[in-house]
Amino acid sequence: MPFEYRSFRARTRQQSAVQSHFYGVGNKAVEEAGGRIVGVFSGFIGQSPDEGFILTHWPTLELAVRNGRNVLTNSSEFLLSSDVLGYFEPASSVRPSPPEGEIVNVLDADGRFSRDAFVAGVVAHRIFHVVDDRLDEHRRLSESAWPGFEGNFPCRVFAYLREIGGNYPDTRILLLTFYSSVSVWEDSRMGISSTGLPPQGQADQAVLNARTLQTRQLSEGEKTAKNAFVKRQEMVNWTSVSLTKICLPPANRH
């Protein structure tokens, strides 16, 4: 069952209004056409706050192509532009697709993430351009890394999706990962990144966090994840990352 992955740009100071519109008029139009909104995300790092992404789920590719833009119904008052970034399908049997319902309403098996965590949390959108004959290996390494990664940080991999068709020489993989806070995202990057160094431009406190992570003993799960992530990058020609906030439906904002 395919997903439409779409970007949007709201008019100035209309981000909140356009989010409410997506979950109201837009959601109704999507559901009437047979789809559902999985998540609406606003730009945080890598995008402006007026930009964002929408992920919708459809029974067939034909319906996704024909009706995906229904989420934009009557939104011109709030919206400057929107583009389809691609159509994707589940590519992992371990984590086949985002959970049923909206991402914001889902807890992991241990109930680890509360509603407050979703308010503070962020979602990283990673697109890997993977060499075609390395796709299976990329998936296998990703799956082997997730248990150790999620076991050591309050995060959750929600989706590992492969593009259907596409106009790129390589195959694009869309990976969506929820982190309970920005600091968790920073710590996870510093703790098991291939270099062990903090991202450029981070605050002094983040550098101190990185030094702490570098001097402590890594758990076996972290070692497995780190090794898998390093090897995984060897089969990727290009990676883009955007960090977003989860846009809550109006009923869930309080």
Query: Are 73 and 124 part of one and the same domain?
Result: no
Indicate whether 86 and 116 sit together in one domain.
no
Q: Which is more confident, 8 or 203? A: 8
pLDDT value of residue 234: 65
**Spatial contact of 104 and 118, defined as CB atoms under 8 Å apart:** yes
Q: Looking at per-residue confidence, does 215 or 87 come out higher?
A: 87
CATH number at residue 209: 3.30.70.100
Residue 208 has pLDDT above 50, yes or no: no
118 and 65 assigned to the same domain: no
Amino acid at 156: R
- Beta strand residue intervals within 96-232, DSSP E: 122-130, 155-163, 171-179
DSSP state of 137: H
11: in domain:
yes
pLDDT at 202: 40
Q: Is the pLDDT of residue 12 over 70?
A: yes
Q: How many domains does the chain have?
A: 2
Dist CA 254 CA 245 (whole Å) = 16
**Are residues 122 and 247 part of one domain?**
yes
d(CA 249, CA 25): 12
Confirm whether 205 is domain-assigned: yes
* Same-domain pairing of 130 and 243: yes
- The stretch 41-70 carries a mean pLDDT of 93
Whether residue 103 lies inside any domain: the answer is no
Joined tokens for residue 101: 């319902």
pLDDT beyond 60 at 135: yes
Whether 192 is covered by a domain: the verdict is yes
Q: Which among 90, 125, 141 is the end of a domain?
A: 90
Residues 68 and 170 grouped into a single domain: no
Q: Which of 28, 59, 90 is the last residue of a domain?
A: 90
Residue 37's domain comprises 1-90
- The answer to whether residue 169 is domain-embedded is yes
Question: What is the reported pLDDT for 7?
Answer: 96
| Cα–Cα distance measured from residue 214 to residue 226, given in angstroms and rounded to the nearest whole number | 13
Question: Is 99 a domain residue?
Answer: no
Same domain, 191 and 157: yes
pLDDT tens, position by position, 172-195:
999 999 888 888 888 887 654 433
Which pLDDT score, from 0 to 100, does residue 39 have? 86
- Name the domain boundary from 90, 123, 149: 90
Which pLDDT score is estimated for 166?
81
Q: How far apart are CA 108 and CA 240, in angstroms?
A: 26
Looking at the predicted structure, is the pLDDT value of residue 163 above 80?
A: yes
State whether 77 and 156 are in the same domain.
no
Coil, strand or helix: which one is 153? coil
Cβ-Cβ contacts under 8 Å for 51 (sequence gap 6 or more): 7, 8, 9, 10, 42, 43
pLDDT tens digit sequence for 17-38: 988 899 899 999 999 999 988 8
Task: Name the pLDDT band for 113 (thresholds 50, 70, 90).
Answer: low
For 60-107, write each residue's pLDDT tens digit: 999 999 999 999 999 999 999 999 999 999 998 776 566 555 555 554
Residue 216 in this model has a pLDDT that exceeds 60? no
Cα-Cα-Cα-Cα torsion 63, 67, 68, 69, nearest 10 degrees, comes to 170
